[in-house]
Structure 1
């Protein structure tokens, strides 16, 4: 029994690795494969009944009519039960596994660092979750159970045929063996062609996704015809790869199926010679002819099933690559009591060999506002992303209250951080529900209070439905400033001890900026605040200013000391003033 259990576990593990299924999915495939095996065995029952009847007819020892009727009825009932069980085992497990696999992938994606998404197109990730899983789902319901069920059935029947009559058995088995060898030799060619078509399909999806996302820019710059022409041309490339992919599978499939049919011809031809020579009897010959017919049908289906297994190979590898990505780890039960943020010799790059943050060292203290400024591209926003573990630093250390943030699970860390970044993501929900994202269990009154602190009340009053107004996909019905103020309201609502603000005034007019600044002064009491802003006027009164240049600390101090000691800061202030004084 333990050996059987270990064998079953090995099969489950093999299915999980080979097809990247969940454990439940692998167990389901094992059950449906066993059911398919018994289904094929059941299909041999009518052949046995026919042989038994012919034998009785030839040797004039037929049983009563009732005997054959009862035999046929019992066979039919058994076949129905087996086929019904096989159908349930296959399709019920399949649809459940499609759901389980998508959930498993989604859970993994949730744990991946943001750096993963900077290296992969979102359309590719979406295609993996939807289309790749759908293709595996189809294989699970139409190919894999029959494939794994037919192989042991074929081996058992082939051995029995060779043992029953070796010469007739060879007539049946040899063409089948030749066909299988030829089909196997074409496997690498099929994988190469289908894999290339898979990549071209992904590239095609990404091209359409970009054309849709950048539709406004394409029209604004008169690129509609150029982009359209490029898309049309690429459809020809895609079509050619699809033809190559289908031919790479169709030709070996057809050739192998033709060779397999030779089993029937060889069995009839050589079997007739053996019958004439008295080396076999008519019942045996008829039985081998019927067996050849059944095996031919089964093998032709097997080749199509193998083709589908090869077809999903690229999808399986894509899912496997996601599962093998290193996850962000950390403890969930860590409690932070103080919230000083310390960068110590931190280095980071988005792409290997292209360092952006280099040996960065500074401390943002609790109950203070620390500003990060510097020229464009110096790594200001990246600093905020590192603090929130949207990206993990490469070397050095970042601690909060003396605890390295890499030791803290991201969900636990997010409980202590409120973030307002330049790129605001909103949902096609009401204003109220979009703000409630900051703290899902907040009451309506608390949400409205946060909205007022972020100066949302004035534009909410202009909406027909007030706070219940749906704002469109990603806030399409709102202006840039209104969208950003909703994001700020989320931070107010969450009321976390650490606040990260990235260019919060970039879409606000002067009046609204002053109002938000007043609200911030109330919010930051006993909190650690890191702020990035290109408007240097708005950060002049902050407790500490960290000036970055090419990913390194140029200078640290308050406004007055930096105006005396930092040439870069003086230059930035001067240019900022020129920009504010500029008149069109």
Structure 2
């Protein structure tokens, strides 16, 4: 049972251990709640028999009961609430560590709104269930089984009158739980879709306004909100009826007990003490169940939250050992890779030697950027092998990989922080002087001169306050600062003007000495002097060699050179 509960609710080892301990003390708590009624029963029994003890005896027993109940409640509170928050922290840390180990392909297949939902709302839901429903539900279930057996063995008909309505409510709740929550799950899925639509509307404001789409987008968003409200209302009505039924049944226990008790008492089958005792038991147990009923229903409603976290934990991670690489030659051997069913890399083989520049060229969509992603292990290839320094990269941990690789992709991602801190991401322990030196190599100092706070200027979400070329220069500065033995450059000049491109190219020429450099560029003039040029076409290697060789042997390359020259000479 322990393993099933842990897996279903996506708990850590410590979390399930504390939950089961809390359940034991919850059981003891409910059991201790029977002590005061038992003491009253004893007092009445002694009174009716004329065997009343000294008042101090009853007060002493009551004092002991209060102390025992206090100790049990205090321990249960610590195990339930204090450890719950520790569990939610551990769970969020585990999710963050899981995200770090997942391949980039996972994030391309999942909506970012869903991932944010998992980190924030789903963990919060689990926190609520652990603190209010799980240990309480388990503890009450065992207590109720125990007390049901005692009550029925002692007086079968009276016992059934007490427990039957509550057991009926429990059965209805669990057997109809999925039907009750189906509408809720649909509603929450709609909310996620709405969140994605809102995010898209915010991010696409420039395009929306440029093409006068405000009314259309507003109408689409409004319709989605109305649809979600209709789903919500329908789900609430369905849940309200079942919740009413499940909530009403336990309160019938005292009524049934009173009726059955009167019948049995008039027949002389029970005493007035038994009648009062069972009536007190029915009132107490029904109240206890009603108090936790809402939270148990909540556990059923949050089923999707548990499932999302279970699915995340079940995702295949990128494993490997931490290794110190001695050389940094990159070799691809018959490498193939697919995005889903779309095969984009097909049996690619080449060697990028250390101390040399290898250029990847070819038509758009031929797989150049994908190869860089495979080499850096942002994606894992399907078949073949990629080796760095003779080591299969699938056997190397991603931490060890990224220690030795600097990447500048065409799409630059920046944080809503200062220019200084955005560059420092390249090497966290770098001093301000080292960061500024890297910035100057990438011509970032020319950007800084225009800004009021210089390097400490906050650049907005994803560098929204900067131009595309300025953002690219910050990304290049990161690579300069990291100074890794393997450098992957993807269209780094795409957003640069000619002047900046020439100056940064000179800096790169100094950076790449004794390093393995793989570069992608559509400006073929900039890669003519590369030590090796790999011509790609439809995910496969068309030809490879130096510029003069493949200009003669590769029809694709010669046509690309021809088109490049025509483009350079074109006048608008």
TM-score by length of 1: 0.94
Moved more, 83-92 or 541-550: 83-92
Q: Give the one of 329, 332, 350 matched to 2:339.
A: 350
In structure 2, how many angstroms separate the alpha carbons of the residues matched to 1:97 and 1:49?
A: 39
SS at structure 2 position matched to 1:327: coil
1:74 matched to 2:90? The reply is: no
Task: Note if contact 2:334-2:383 (Cα within 8 Å) is conserved in structure 1.
Answer: yes
Tell me, yes or no, if structure 1 residue 391 matches structure 2 residue 367.
Answer: no
Question: What is the CA-CA distance between 1:302 and the residue it aligns to?
Answer: 4.1
Q: 1:344 Cα deviation (Å)? A: 1.4
Residues 366 and 526, structure 1, Cα contact 8 Å, conserved in 2: yes
Deviation at 1:473, TM superposition (A): 2.4
Q: Is the 8 Å Cα contact of residues 428 and 473 (structure 1) preserved in structure 2?
A: yes
Task: Choose which of 276, 279, 298 in structure 2 pairs with 1:286.
Answer: 276
Q: Give the distance between the partners of 1:158 and 1:432, measured in 2 at CA.
A: 68
Q: Superposed, which structure 2 residues align to 1:30-41 within 5 Å? A: 30-41=20-31
Deviations 1:438-471 (A, max 9, x none): 1112222222222222222222222223223332
Structure 1 gap segments, 5+ residues each: 1-9
Q: How does 1:499-510 map to 2 (within 5 A)?
A: 499-510=487-498
Residue 151 of structure 1: which of 136, 141, 146 is its match?
141
Q: Please name the residue that 1:565 is paired with.
A: 553
For 1:346-495, list aligned pairs within 5 A: 346-351=335-340, 353-495=341-483
The answer on whether the counterparts of 1:51 and 1:283 sit within 8 Å (CA) in structure 2 is yes
Alpha-carbon shift at residue 83 of structure 1 (Å): 2.1
Contact 1:253 1:303 in 2 (8 A): no
- Alignment partner, residue 129 of structure 2: 139
Aligned mates of 1:409, 1:560 — CA distance in 2:
39
Which residue of 1 is the match for residue 120 of structure 2? 130
Partner of residue 3, structure 1: none
How far apart in 1 are the matches of 2:189 and 2:347? 39
More displaced 10-residue stretch of structure 1: 193-202 or 493-502:
193-202
User: C-alpha displacement at 1:101, in angstroms?
Assistant: 0.5
Structure 1 window deviating more from structure 2 (217-226 vs 383-392): it is 217-226
Aligned partner of 1:338 in structure 2 is: 327
Structure 1 residue 395, shift from structure 2 partner: 0.7
Q: Counterparts of 2:256 and 2:430 in 1: how far apart (Å)?
A: 79
Question: Aligned with 2:349: secondary structure?
Answer: strand
Distance across 1 between alignment mates of 2:453 and 2:407: 28
Task: Kindly indicate whether the alpha-carbon contact (under 8 Å) linking 1:349 and 1:394 is maintained by their aligned counterparts in 2.
Answer: yes
Contact 2:319 2:395 in 1 (8 A): yes
Structure 1 residues 73-111: Cα deviation after superposition (integer angstroms, max 9, x where no partner) = 333333233222222221101111111111001100110
Deviations 1:56-77 (A, max 9, x none): 3323332333333333333333
Task: Give per-residue Cα distances to partners, 1:333-381, cap 9 Å, x unaligned.
Answer: x222222211111111111x21011111122111111111111111111
Structure 1 pair 428/185, CA: closer, same or farther in 2 (3 Å)? closer
Q: Counterparts of 2:181 and 2:313 in 1: how far apart (Å)?
A: 21
SS state at 1:462 partner: coil
Q: Runs of 5+ in structure 2 lacking a partner?
A: none
For residues 226-279 of structure 1, the C-alpha deviation after alignment (integer angstroms, 9 at most, x for no partner) is 111111111122222223333343322221232333322221111111111111
User: Residues of 1 paired with 2:35 and 2:554: CA distance?
Assistant: 92
TM-superposed CA distance for 1:151, in Å, is 0.4
Determine if the alignment matches structure 1 residue 173 to structure 2 residue 163.
yes
Please list, as runs of the form range in 1=range in 2, the aligned pairs for 1:72-221 lying within 5 A after superposition: 72-221=62-211
Note the 1:304-315 alignment, pairs <5 A: 304-315=294-305
**Residue range with higher mean Cα deviation, 146-155 or 243-252:** 243-252
What corresponds to 1:579 in structure 2?
567
Q: Partner of 2:449: helix, strand, or coil?
A: helix
Distance 2:319 2:342 in 1: 25
1:555 corresponds to which residue? 543
The answer to whether the Cα contact below 8 Å between 2:338 and 2:345 also exists between their aligned partners in 1 is yes
Cα deviation, 1:302-350, whole Å, max 9, x if unaligned, reads: 4323211111111001000000000101111x22222221111111111
8 Å CA contact retained: 1:500, 1:531: yes
Task: Please tell me whether the aligned partners of residues 342 and 362 of structure 1 are also in contact (alpha carbons under 8 angstroms).
Answer: yes
Distance 2:336 2:216 in 1: 41
Q: Answer whether contact 2:152 2:158 (CA < 8 A) is retained.
A: yes
Is residue 8–residue 307 contact of structure 2 (8 Å, CA) maintained in 1? no
Kept in 2, the 8 Å contact 1:113–1:391? The answer is yes
Q: Which shifted more, 454-463 or 489-498?
A: 454-463
C-alpha contact (below 8 Å) 1:20/1:316 kept by paired residues: yes
Q: Does 1:263 align with 2:246?
A: no
Q: Which deviates more from structure 2 when the two are superposed, residues 469-478 or residues 551-560? A: 469-478
Task: Say which of 252, 276, 281 aligns to 2:266.
Answer: 276
Deviates more, 1:34-43 or 1:572-581: 572-581
Give the whole-Å Cα distance in 2 for the aligned partners of 1:553 and 1:542. Answer: 17
* 8 Å Cα contact 1:249/1:307 also seen in 2: no
Using the TM superposition, give the Cα deviation of residue 517 of structure 1 relative to its aligned residue in structure 2, in angstroms: 1.0
- C-alpha distance in 2 between matches for 1:16 and 1:184: 19
